[in-house]
Amino acid sequence: MKKLSTLTRLLVCAGLAFVGFTAQAQDVKGSAAAGNGKVWLCVGCHSIPDYRADYPLVYRVPMLGGQNAAYIASSLAEYKKGNRKHPTMRSIAASLSDQDMADIGEYYAAQTASSPNNPLK
């Protein structure tokens, strides 16, 4: 009887460990449709061709449409970590979760370089 309960406990532990492992192993998967609701803050700067931001207007604001989703998500993560230094982008990225970054990456990847980054229909 004692042996069985130890075995049961072991099985429960193994089961929990497996659930934990698979949850961690899953990559955050972005959704362009979800990203659509998260870019309202970005269009003011990122959808104007040749726009420069921040006094004395030295920063060229890159166009995001058509860029690789993983690149966009990792750039945002680098701003959040502080490895990329632009102050406005750092504070914006600080408010984004990994899921937000993945969604925004997919959203912009679904655009083209010349699209005005309008919301997906």
7 vs 33, beta carbon nearer ligand HEC: 33
Enter the tokens of residue 67.
Answer: 């860029």
CA-CA distance, 54 to 50, in Å (whole number)? 13
Taking the chain, what is the end-to-end CA distance rounded to the nearest angstrom? 62
23 vs 57, beta carbon nearer ligand HEC: 57
Min dist CB 121 to ligand HEC, Å, is 20
Asked if 120 and 73 count as a contact pair (C-beta separation under 8 A), the reply is: no
Kindly write out the interface string for residues 3-42 of this chain, putting x where it contacts ligand HEC by CB under 6 A and - elsewhere: ------------------------------------x-xx
Residue 72's CB is within 10 A of a number of other CB atoms, namely: 22
Kindly write out the interface string for residues 58-87 of this chain, putting x where it contacts ligand HEC by CB under 6 A and - elsewhere: -x-xx-x-------x--xx-------x-x-
Asked if 65 and 106 count as a contact pair (C-beta separation under 8 A), the reply is: no
CA-CA distance, 76 to 94, in Å (whole number)? 9
15 vs 87, beta carbon nearer ligand HEC: 87
Residues that bind ligand HEC (CB under 6 A): 39, 41-42, 44-46, 53, 59, 61-62, 64, 72, 75-76, 84, 86, 88-89, 92, 104
